[in-house]
Every structure is written in structure tokens, then in C-alpha cells.
Structure 1
């Protein structure tokens, strides 16, 4: 059954079993998750990063941008979440999907290539610590693929 509305629930950890019609938001892990709005039951995970999805909360409802395109699911559903309401979008062709994925890859590569270089490289400076993310992504992958 298709959903027209998603109610949000701010959580630290996304639950193992998701409820239909609920958008779970974990700010500590910069992740939102819900069951596909078409009713197929697939888990949809949207990482909240500058090159993935952006979350907007107005105190009452949540919006995500860009749209959710579930191209890897059999349902291939495509929709927007705007103020907690689902707005269905048109299907994309395989060419459009490939182009969208390529644009995402380019945006991520450009974002990662921006490295801070001090103006005076002869001065010794202590580099900022690097945050290890592999543990989180590994946990997220295990959660996505679990049933």
C-alpha cells in the first residue's frame, strides 16, 4: 500500500525493524531511513552528507532533498519527501539513472579532492585528526543487508 505521509522519529540508532510510514532520523549518525513508500517493504537508507541527501526540519515536519530514486529495487519507485508528505515523481530511464549516478560520483570525487593546503607550506603545522568512518559504514551495510 502506497504511503502519502511519513511521520518522523528522531532516534540515536535506527531500529532493526522499521514501521511503515515512519522516517527514522539519526542525527548522531547523519542517516535517515524508512521503508519504501510504495509499500514493497524494502529499507531505504539516505545518508545525510553534502553530496548525498540534505534534511530540512521546520519544527513540525521533515523534507529530504534530492528525491528518493529506488532504482535498485524491483519497484523502482521515485518520490520526494516534502514536509512529511510524499510527492510521487516519474520513472527514470536507464540512461537517466546512469547519468544521475555519474553526477553523484563526480560530486563526491570533487568534494573529497578539496584538501586544505596552508598558504605557507614551509611552516610546520599539526594536521587536524582524520575521522575514521569505515566502522560506521560497515555497521550501516550490515543493518541494510540484514533481514
Structure 2
């Protein structure tokens, strides 16, 4: 059950240590977002923006994230979509569906990065804090 039906966004350089419920923190510097789980359990949910993970759309007023947020490793196992600041509850997934998505995700990362990243984490840029913007790094990398 989704408790938070809307997320207000805040652009930040660094994600704060303590996440306020109902806020979607977006760091363009680190190409990631984080929020407190919308079911109300209080767990931190991180969605990195990479070619094989989430895509963020900002229309000047609201933010959307694609694909859906599936919290399969959390006790709540909540599943929802963030569309123009609204939180839309999605159907739960079976263990088989989750396993199939993890296989698809690993395959996408292997195809894009040319190797299998450790666990379910995408291959990082050359340094933990890039000297250039993430998007510039991606553009340079793709033009090689």
C-alpha cells in the first residue's frame, strides 16, 4: 500500500544523510536520485541515472522516473511509478518476475559496458567524483 501519493522534488548536489518522506532528491552532479520508500516503511530508495538504469524527465515543474521502482530487496516489496510527481502503485511481482528482470538487467549492463559489473551496480565512471559532468563523460565515452 502506497502512503505517499506525491513526491516533491529537490535538486541537490549531495543526497542528504536523512531523507525526508515525500521528497525526491535529485543530484545531477552524481546522476542519481533518492527518496524514502513511498509505502512509508522509511527505507532509502536510490535510482541512478545511467543508460541501463533509470531515466529522469524534468518538464520544468515535475519529475518522472522510468522504469518503475521495484523494491524487491526491501521487506515491503513495494512497486510504483513516479509520473510527473505522482506516485502510482503498480502490481506486485512474483519471485520469478523479479529473477527474470535481474537477468535482463545484467544482460543490458554486459552489452552496454562490455563486461558484467559487480553485483547489480553499474560500472562507475573513472573516478568516484567525476571531474566533468556525468553526461559529458557519457557523451565522450560513446564517441570513442
2:139 corresponds in structure 1 to: none
Deviating beyond 3 angstroms after TM superposition, the runs of 4 or more aligned structure 1 residues are none
Root-mean-square deviation (Å): 1.6
Q: Aligned-pair distance for 1:105?
A: 0.3
Q: Aligned-pair distance for 1:132?
A: 1.5
Structure with bigger gyration radius: 1
Q: Give the number of equivalent residue pairs.
A: 120
Unaligned residue ranges in structure 1 (runs of 5+):
115-130, 137-147
1:113 corresponds in structure 2 to: 114
2:126 corresponds in structure 1 to: 132
Q: Aligned-pair distance for 1:39?
A: 0.1
2:17 corresponds in structure 1 to: 16
Deviations 1:83-141 (A, max 9, x none): 00000001100000000000000000000129xxxxxxxxxxxxxxxx424x35xxxxx
Distance 2:85 2:103 in 1: 29
Secondary structure at 2:100's aligned position in 1? helix
Unaligned residue ranges in structure 2 (runs of 5+):
116-124, 130-144
Q: Aligned-pair distance for 1:38?
A: 0.1
